[in-house]
Amino acid sequence: MISYDGLVIATGAVARWLPGSRPLAGLFTLRSLDDALALRAALERTPRVVVVGAGFIGAEVAATCRKRGLEVTIVEPLASPMARVLAPEIGAVCAAAHRDQGVDLRLGVGVAEVLGGERVERVRLSDGSEIPADVVVVGIGATPATGWLASSGLELADGVVCDATCATRAPGVVAAGDVARWHHEGYRESLRIEHWTNAVEQADAAAARLLDGPSTPAFAPIPFVWSDQYDLKIQAAGRIAPDDEVFVAHGSLAERRFVALFGRKGVLRGALAINRVRQLMGYRRMMREGASFDAAVAASRAE
């Protein structure tokens, strides 16, 4: 037993396994350094690669494999890449980029089974088709690592539940990073964010809560995430949802160089840039100031 005056829970998350699949050589999730090293070694053998999931992890793995000259298929049950957060017209831009690079993109279909003896040999899809494969990378999200806390008395709900300052109900216990679910006062909702930038910023906030006590300011950042895929530098700020109102403020979708603004209930909720970094930071500042969607659109037209 270890005594403490302050405790930070920062156990992160665990990559989700493909439901119903059994462990096979060549079947990977990607979460840890060991995962990355094992996958890199497998890619040295010039395998045929199937990526399950077209979120940030899946899309980045696919792009990396294509840049190595490998045969790549992406399987995504939704209608477009990153469809859980991006409007269809933005997802279509990402889809086109992968297809232009030679990726076989299978959308609107899931994985029924990964087949093979001791090693991966092929993937059977929910439409009955099969894809030959030597390596399968599963990128279908992550689960917060809270199993060890089941009998702790802490409130758990898809993460360790915290207040606006990252404090749990237990005295002297805070949480940070992928494992933490906290009340975001700006968005007035409970959030758990799996982005590197959030983990770094929330670590500072949780430490401040332990040192300064309940008077610590609420942790209410404007989330920020980025992804590099081929020649696309994708950066997003705020809370984007696929049903948001969308306005392309700078550039054009056809050029794959633009900034798109996202609004909900009259408020600027998010901005996404592809290969246009400068303007995005200005909109992140506007979100921090609580700007309306109309004001952001007007500001874009004034430039």
Position 43 in a domain: yes
Phi and psi angles of residue 176, each rounded to the nearest 5 degrees, phi first: -150, 150
Q: What is the mean pLDDT of residues 56-77?
A: 96
Tens of pLDDT, residues 159-185: 999 999 999 999 999 999 999 999 999
CATH number at residue 269: 3.30.390.30
Asked if pLDDT for residue 303 goes beyond 80, the answer is: no
Q: What is the mean pLDDT of residues 132-148?
A: 96
Comparing 153 with 88, the larger pLDDT belongs to 153
Position 1 in a domain: no
Structural domain ending residue among the three candidates 215, 241, 260: 215
CATH number at residue 198: 3.50.50.60
Positive/negative CA dihedral, 265, 267, 268, 269: negative
- Cβ atoms of 95 and 62 within 8 Å: the answer is no
> 136: domain range?
17-140
Position 87 in a domain: yes
Q: With b meaning 16 or more CB within 10 Å and e meaning fewer, what string describes 86-100?
A: bbeebbebbbebbee
Burial class (CB in 10 A: 0-12, 13-18, 19+), 115: middle
Question: Are 119 and 177 in the same domain?
Answer: no
Question: Are 255 and 284 in the same domain?
Answer: yes
Question: Are 50 and 108 in the same domain?
Answer: yes
Identify the pLDDT of residue 83: 83
